[in-house]
Structure 1
Amino acid sequence: MEPSKKTQHRGTFECELCGLKAPYSYYGQKPPNPYSVAMEFSLPSLLEESYVMKDPFTSDKDKFLILGSRCNLCRKCVCVGTECSLFYSKRFCLPCVNLHLKEFPLEIKQDLEKKTHSKSQSSKTKDSKKS
């Protein structure tokens, strides 16, 4: 593959939950340089088929960011943001996690409860500042 084609825009990734849109250059488990994406894990490939883009925050053309993937249950396209999805051996959107919460380990349930609690606390704080 030619170097210029490595990071060529292939389409636009859009999270079906939050609406995040970004151009992606690759979809799959083995980006052109997988070590630049998963370097900290020393993986030759990604753990899931992912939408990947060139990292806009570095001049290193071999660095990539993972934008998102498809939910393993409903197949919606979701970003990796903690408000939209989680990765537990596979990618799951939070609506599916909540629907199937009994099937996830206790740690996942506790993490979601903490998120929900902290989110409700922050919205109460915002509301009190408006008054």
Structure 2
Amino acid sequence: MESSKEPPLQGTFECELCGLRVPYSYYGQKPPNTYSVTLLEDSYVMRDPFTPEKDKFLILGSECSLCSKRVCVGTDCSLFYAKRFCLPCANLHLEEFPLEIKQDLEKRIRSKPQSSRKGDSKDRKKK
């Protein structure tokens, strides 16, 4: 019988922007069972469930370097440019980023569907 030396779950990571909730097994810059990997930021990490290799992992997210919100690495929630930034903070400080990052952020904003705010459909039904 093979003994599993999986890292125990530490808690649940939740993105404060999109609501993604995932159990994580490590928080920091040096995930377990990785010898030559050091992350550039403290990150919430889980072992990759799609491979049996113990040294494979998924980075779930991190904290915004400006507001400290927990945000996932999804392109709708954050970006990494030397540090992690949630998109609301990045948009507030857009002029402080290099031109390429500004263009990328503007492209993300334009391509994001104009979804209705929470409660809009309820408000229409009440009328």
Deviations 1:6-65 (A, max 9, x none): 521110000000000000000001111335xxxxxxx53100000000111112222110
Structure 2 SS opposite 1:51: strand
Inter-partner Cα distance in structure 2 for 1:48 and 1:25? 16
Inter-partner Cα distance in structure 1 for 2:68 and 2:109? 24
Match of 2:60 among 64, 67, 71: 67
The RMSD of aligned alpha carbons is 1.8
2:35 paired with 1:32: no
The residue type equivalent to 2:43 in the other structure is S
Q: Percent identity?
A: 73
Structure 1 residue aligned with 2:91: 98
2:101 paired with 1:108: yes
**Unpaired segments ≥5 residues, structure 2:** 116-127
Match of 1:49 among 33, 42, 47: 42
Inter-partner Cα distance in structure 2 for 1:34 and 1:16? 28
- Structure ranking higher in helix proportion: 1
2:12 paired with 1:12: yes
Q: Verify the 8 A CA contact 1:69 1:80 in the aligned structure 2.
A: yes
Structure 1 segments, 4+ long, off by >6 Å, are: none
Calculate the TM-score normalised by the size of structure 1. Answer: 0.79
Inter-partner Cα distance in structure 2 for 1:34 and 1:68? 18
Inter-partner Cα distance in structure 1 for 2:62 and 2:14? 10
Name which one, 1 or 2, has greater alpha-carbon Rg.
2
